[in-house]
Amino acid sequence: MCATLNRREFLLTPIAFPLIMPAAPRPVEKQTFRVGYAPEFGLRPNEQKFWTACDACNELGFHYVETNNSGVKLVQAYADRTAEFKEKMSKRNLTMMAFAVVSEMVAPNKRQKVIDENLQVGRFLQAVGGKYINLIFDVQGDPRLSRERLLQQLRKEDFQRFADTANEVGNRLRSETGIHLGYHPEKYEVKARVVDRILEMTNPDYVDFLPDVGHITAGGGNPLEMYQKYRSRMIATHFKDWNPDLAWDRNEPGERGKFVALGKGIVNFLALVAFLRQTKFAGQVMVELDEQPNPKKEMKDYVVKKLGLSLA
């Protein structure tokens, strides 16, 4: 016969305690993206500085790099020696994932030059195992005007010319080399509010998106909102921080703020990483700091320990 328990006896019985178990913690989403480093050489780039930066990346455990070819001109230096370049990278356990290319996309007389230069870089990347070109938009005009003002003066036909050239470059890169073209807006494009216009006018089949969260923040934008809006076009992203209270000699007159090491500014990297994990981003994350060609141990520790990311 079963004994009957009154209410007080039931609440004191050990079998009641499993009914009040805490909820299991939510598992962390698997990291589906790669993390690398983008050496930035300031105003005096050269090949030796690049290889020194690669040695530093290797020592800290980074395996993927990207740099600005318009400055260091590695593609031109190794145009007929791609196997040698690839071997030098392999000895350092590195892959050259991408090059940035600064392109004058609205100048009619520069169109063919822009196309030829990007295709040359694309063929080189194809030969050495790369994935994408980082398109940096260069706008020329009255030197007395700020870049923001020059961008605001662009006409509808200028933006159309940009879009037509970018679409052709992106289309030919994909069809001829398999390399993708990713538009990388800098802070002046964000401040001038032309980023959406450029992305709307370019073809998503040919032109991807490469948001730099430091530049977006410096221009007054919200990196997470930009991620959410253009996630389907993201091929890669740059992790760079911004401190709005510091002076910097590379600012234009009247500007304030400086790019700083991750965690030293106002960018919320934990929220960005959570979004990339949750949406199973499979592209490239490149850690970067202007005027710092060699990664520092503190930078690696922030990425690995604070953000919980793997460099493998």
pLDDT at 173: 98
Q: What is the DSSP letter of 18?
A: G
| Full-model pTM | 0.89
State how far the Cα of 235 lies from the Cα of 216, in Å rounded to an integer: 16
pLDDT at 161: 95
pLDDT at 24: 52
pLDDT at 6: 53
pLDDT at 254: 84
pLDDT at 23: 57
pLDDT at 12: 47
In tens, the pLDDT along 62-88 reads 999 999 999 999 999 999 999 999 999
Based on its alpha-carbon atoms, the radius of gyration of the chain, rounded to whole angstroms, reads: 24
pLDDT at 19: 46
Q: Are 238 and 286 in contact (CB under 8 A)?
A: yes
pLDDT at 48: 96
State how far the Cα of 65 lies from the Cα of 33, in Å rounded to an integer: 14
Domains of the chain and any CATH numbers:
33-306 (3.20.20.150)
In tens, the pLDDT along 250-279 reads 888 888 999 999 999 999 999 999 999 999
pLDDT at 141: 87
Tokens of 161: 């010319």
- The SS3 of residue 65 is strand
Q: Are 87 and 127 in contact (CB under 8 A)?
A: no
State how far the Cα of 172 lies from the Cα of 164, in Å rounded to an integer: 12
Residues of the chain with pLDDT under 70: 1-27
